[in-house]
């Protein structure tokens, strides 16, 4: 049965398993969300996974583990980005975010710095990444894993182009299609999943988002372990695989 994480009437102890799905409203109340997660006895993915994953500073850990990650600079409130982080075309977003909200693409260093300032004024850590131009033509590849195994993949159209509408104020409208991933993308996805599994064990669900680097090589832009869209409708076997993975956990 569906239930809302903020509903005080729900008895979370009564469920054999609680599966996190579309909790996209947590970004403005992270501490309350994590307190709820740690209070649920049987949660997938676990509260420890959620706590690590909802702050995108995990990207620095993945890079330190040797994975090819889109270069990322994190700037805490009170700090200022250096000139190198602002040079060229850059993407600025909060370290705790979902659905590409409060994310901007800037060619003007002053505009990028002003975006960082706005995030800091709201008490948020900012992150800066160079805009990966290959996404304009190739799009983004998302690899979906269910029960610890690769299930299917989708192509997501470039998000930071033109005017984009939000859906119920929760996420930007997306252009989604099925995709057959390359061997290099699948190999990188397996490496990412191995690093995560070494720390947290096998996960019920995961999404690894990749962008094409300057030479076409895949780069990790995000690893979604908290509340990702799994795009089950794009693959006829995906709903059954998720159901089987949930049943195995129960």
What pLDDT does 24 receive?
86
What pLDDT does 159 receive?
55
Specify whether 207 is catalytic: yes
Cβ atoms of residues 206 and 223 within 8 Å: yes
What pLDDT does 39 receive?
97
What pLDDT does 28 receive?
85
Q: Which residues of the chain have pLDDT under 50?
A: 164
For 243, other C-beta atoms within 10 Å of its C-beta total: 12
Specify the CATH number for 73-130; select among 3.90.25, 3.30.1490, 3.90.1310, 3.40.50. Answer: 3.30.1490
**From 21, 29, 149, 177, active-site residue:** 177
What pLDDT does 86 receive?
92
The candidate with the shortest Cα–Cα distance to 20, out of 98, 94, 101, is 98
What pLDDT does 1 receive?
84
What pLDDT does 80 receive?
92
Fold matches, 73-130 and 133-249: no
DSSP 69: B
Alpha-carbon gap, residue 150 to 154, rounded angstroms: 12
Tokens of 14: 């009564």
Specify whether 118 is catalytic: no
Specify whether 21 is catalytic: no
What pLDDT does 20 receive?
97
**From 179, 224, 227, 241, active-site residue:** 224
The candidate with the shortest Cα–Cα distance to 140, out of 224, 76, 199, is 224
**From 124, 140, 185, 207, active-site residue:** 207
Could you state, in order of their start, the residue ranges of all structural domains in the chain?
73-130, 133-249
What pLDDT does 213 receive?
94
The candidate with the shortest Cα–Cα distance to 227, out of 94, 42, 98, is 98
The candidate with the shortest Cα–Cα distance to 226, out of 60, 74, 67, 56, is 56
Sign of CA pseudo-dihedral 147, 248, 52, 18: positive
Query: Where in 21-164 does DSSP place strands (E)?
Result: 43-44, 73-75, 90-94, 104-106, 126-130, 140-146, 149-156
What pLDDT does 158 receive?
75
What pLDDT does 160 receive?
54
User: pLDDT per residue over 137-154, tens digit each?
Assistant: 899 999 999 999 999 999
Angle at 160 between CA 159 and CA 163, to 5 degrees: 95
CATH superfamily of 133-249: ATP-grasp fold, B domain (3.30.470.20)
- CA distances in angstroms from 96 to 123, 125, 148, 226, listed in the order given: 11, 8, 25, 12
Q: In sequence order, what are the residues at sequence separation of 6 or more whose Cβ sits closer than 8 angstroms to the Cβ of residue 200? A: 45, 46, 48, 49, 52
For 227, other C-beta atoms within 10 Å of its C-beta total: 23
Alpha-carbon gap, residue 22 to 158, rounded angstroms: 22
User: pLDDT per residue over 207-250, tens digit each?
Assistant: 999 999 999 999 999 999 999 999 999 999 999 999 999 999 99
Sign of CA pseudo-dihedral 66, 126, 158, 101: positive
């Amino acid at each position: 049965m569906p239930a809302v994480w903020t509903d005080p009437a729900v008895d979370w102890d009564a469920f054999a398993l609680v599966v996190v799905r579309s909790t996209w409203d947590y970004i403005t109340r992270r501490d309350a969300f994590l307190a709820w997660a740690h209070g649920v006895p049987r949660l997938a993915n676990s509260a420890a996974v959620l706590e690590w994953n909802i702050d995108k500073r995990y990207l620095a850990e993945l890079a330190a583990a040797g994975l090819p990650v889109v270069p990322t600079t994190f700037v805490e409130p009170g700090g200022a980005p250096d000139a190198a982080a602002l040079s060229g075309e850059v993407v600025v977003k909060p370290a705790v975010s979902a659905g590409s909200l409060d994310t901007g693409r800037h060619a003007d260093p002053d505009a990028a710095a002003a975006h960082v300032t706005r995030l800091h004024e709201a008490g948020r850590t900012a992150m800066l990444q160079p805009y990966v131009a290959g996404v304009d033509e190739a799009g983004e590849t998302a690899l979906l894993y269910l029960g610890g195994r690769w299930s299917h993949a989708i192509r997501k159209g470039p998000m930071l182009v033109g005017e984009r509408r939000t859906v119920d104020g929760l996420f930007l409208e997306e252009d989604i299609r099925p995709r057959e991933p390359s061997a290099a993308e699948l190999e990188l996805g397996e490496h990412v999943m191995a690093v995560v599994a070494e720390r947290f064990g096998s996960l019920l669900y995961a999404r690894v988002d990749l962008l094409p680097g300057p030479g076409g090589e895949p780069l990790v832009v995000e690893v979604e372990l908290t509340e990702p869209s799994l795009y089950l409708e794009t693959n006829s076997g995906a709903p059954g695989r998720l159901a089987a993975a949930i049943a195995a956990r129960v």
